[in-house]
Structure 1
């Protein structure tokens, strides 16, 4: 974790220079692969109706905004990748505006897209927009006014302006008569969009669930620290015009003896499942576990975009790699990104594993299916001043 804004900015010039100008090597090396764990030891308990009563009252008081309305009111401009940025297989990408790129209080973490949500149908458009979604968390050490989580909806379609909009994630509170909401102070290390549902990793719990059809309109004009109900008709949200309230919780359970640390998640559309992995250290860490990480696959209920009330994992792996901030799976192929090692590990049960050089500050991965062009891996870097959101051809990291 970065301790303060001054320290971040003091290191920014050299860090950005190295990460921005370095041509990442393309040499791959063989590596040890994962081993199988008992999948039956890992289960999920799903509740999609946890906040139904309060959410209905919030909708009645505030009203909802469809995704297309949010994007038509997008108020930030994304910019292109710097010309110095280069990595093997690079296809496309962008940066956030200068304020978000240099913000030492908020950090991008998870990534998903409307291709996750709807697949390749209608060119991957959800409610008329092809979108890249990034989750963020707040580090309160840099002149902060409270810890919170948010998402950024980024237009990725030539039909629309190169804009993005921030939406605050909130947890409903209060009663039907006096509904309210509060900040969600989680790391938001991974995010997956499937159908209308947005799944956000909650490190020690599992996942929180949101419904993209239920974005609420809030009042602006308050102070930066104001959150929730101010009166019967006025609700502030740190001056965010839109909030996305949690609808439920997916709770992680295990009989393995060691609880899972939900550091990152990714959607596998082929097998209709979410995969997760843990950020752990080999040794020497105080804020993270010192043990081998795991990757677990959880299938959705057949023919739906939701989990059953109880779900048993369909695959469980013990991994030989550490400091993993991202993963993806597609057609029985896996990718794991290590921010600590600056490596991307590719693995299949049949062919084994291969290690590729990767970027610094690597975070989550989302697989982008395409019917006419190469499939992509979308990912991002979290470092202040070096927040490249980019896509590489998956075939460049396909063993």
Structure 2
């Protein structure tokens, strides 16, 4: 079913929101990014890092196609009830009450099946139009980061308003006795391109997964158990039914003297590239106190993978701080500052414009459409207000 029908189904809720929404402050001129030497930033890609272990795990556990995972979706999503006050608001959803109010899990990155395959077949991947959100998990409400996961959310009205959680894991062990372990990253950004899922790893670059290699695991055991058990045949994953195993790593390097902090990423389908940005602040103790950067890295020509070695094609120093989201499309850029509650729009030709945005805002994903307006998807991490929403990008393009 078309995205238009999904929007029509949301029309009643949208009207209610519009009636109570606060008017966003008008757009205003803003400081602009400056160009950095792009050649200082490179990537090294290894898509075969875990080939032997993954082959052994597939033989042991078997794979589940995305449509099978969604056939077994076991969480209900609901409508957005907060008044977001965003011009161009189109539709959105919230997670169930357990996830919306969970102090140990936090949504961060967002991508969609439109990233994965574009507008072909109405953006359906394995028969589903999907929104994918990355999360990190803490050991207790005030604990340290302990693992990461994704949620696959049905967006098309053809299917129930459901979603399913999938644990992200790294293969371990040997080919004779394969296992896996938790991936303790912030997962601040995520991009789905073809069958590959790229997840930001703050101090390293990106971890790579294959969406056709979701594995089936035993939901028994205890919530603390993960990996191969002593009988050699049982595999637990903190009671998750599905795990997505890492296949490789994209490692970032720079000659600039300051390593990139991979806080958020987004796919630009027009140029065939991933853009990243850093979370930094002007005055804080837990994050870098410096101006953030944004860098563009191209995929190999005609591919959804990076070459073994890749040099950036664009690098920017940014005048804004506390950036949790970035997107780029047709030489246009958007940056979300969670602390400032601003969305910054910039093009090299036209300069910058600042828009009011939501608090607790996270990553951004650009949604291409051939029959309806293009969209910007984003989300909020705030406990009790974890809204995933779409706005017309034309409302935020200067």
Shift of 1:95: 0.2
CA gap of 1:108–1:347, structure 2 versus 1, over 3 A, is same
Shift of 1:145: 9.9
Shift of 1:139: 2.2
Shift of 1:363: 0.1
Look up the match of 2:243: 243
Runs (4+) off by over 3 Å: 83-86, 143-146
Q: Distance in 2 between matches of 1:60 and 1:145?
A: 34
Checking the alignment, whether the CA contact within 8 Å between 2:195 and 2:211 is kept in structure 1 is yes
CA gap of 1:166–1:257, structure 2 versus 1, over 3 A, is same
Q: Distance in 2 between matches of 1:373 and 1:263?
A: 31
Q: Distance in 2 between matches of 1:327 and 1:225?
A: 34
Kindly report which structure 2 residues correspond to 1:59-208, keeping only aligned pairs within 5 A, or say none. 59-82=58-81, 84-142=83-141, 147-208=146-207
Checking the alignment, whether the CA contact within 8 Å between 1:24 and 1:358 is kept in structure 2 is no
Checking the alignment, whether the CA contact within 8 Å between 1:24 and 1:357 is kept in structure 2 is no
Checking the alignment, whether the CA contact within 8 Å between 2:104 and 2:140 is kept in structure 1 is yes
Which blocks of at least 5 consecutive residues in structure 1 are unaligned? 1-20
CA gap of 1:364–1:259, structure 2 versus 1, over 3 A, is same
Q: Distance in 2 between matches of 1:143 and 1:323?
A: 21
Shift of 1:84: 3.3
TM-score, normalising length: structure 1 = 0.93
Checking the alignment, whether the CA contact within 8 Å between 1:280 and 1:291 is kept in structure 2 is yes
Look up the match of 2:14: none
Look up the match of 2:255: 255
Checking the alignment, whether the CA contact within 8 Å between 1:65 and 1:216 is kept in structure 2 is yes
Instruction: Give the superposed CA RMSD.
Output: 1.2
- Number of equivalenced pairs: 378
Between 1:82-91 and 1:272-281, the stretch displaced more is 82-91
Q: Distance in 1 between matches of 2:218 and 2:368?
A: 38
Checking the alignment, whether the CA contact within 8 Å between 1:268 and 1:328 is kept in structure 2 is yes
Checking the alignment, whether the CA contact within 8 Å between 1:192 and 1:267 is kept in structure 2 is yes
Shift of 1:83: 5.7
Shift of 1:144: 6.4
Secondary structure of 2:212's match? coil
Look up the match of 1:396: 395
Checking the alignment, whether the CA contact within 8 Å between 2:82 and 2:385 is kept in structure 1 is no
Q: Distance in 2 between matches of 1:189 and 1:30?
A: 28
- 1:135-183 Cα distance to aligned partner (Å, 9 max, x none): 0001223286971000000001111111100000000000000000000
Look up the match of 1:44: 43
- 1:117-146 Cα distance to aligned partner (Å, 9 max, x none): 000000000000000000000122328697
Which blocks of at least 5 consecutive residues in structure 2 are unaligned? 1-19
Checking the alignment, whether the CA contact within 8 Å between 1:301 and 1:308 is kept in structure 2 is yes
Q: Distance in 1 between matches of 2:101 and 2:56?
A: 38
Checking the alignment, whether the CA contact within 8 Å between 2:24 and 2:85 is kept in structure 1 is no
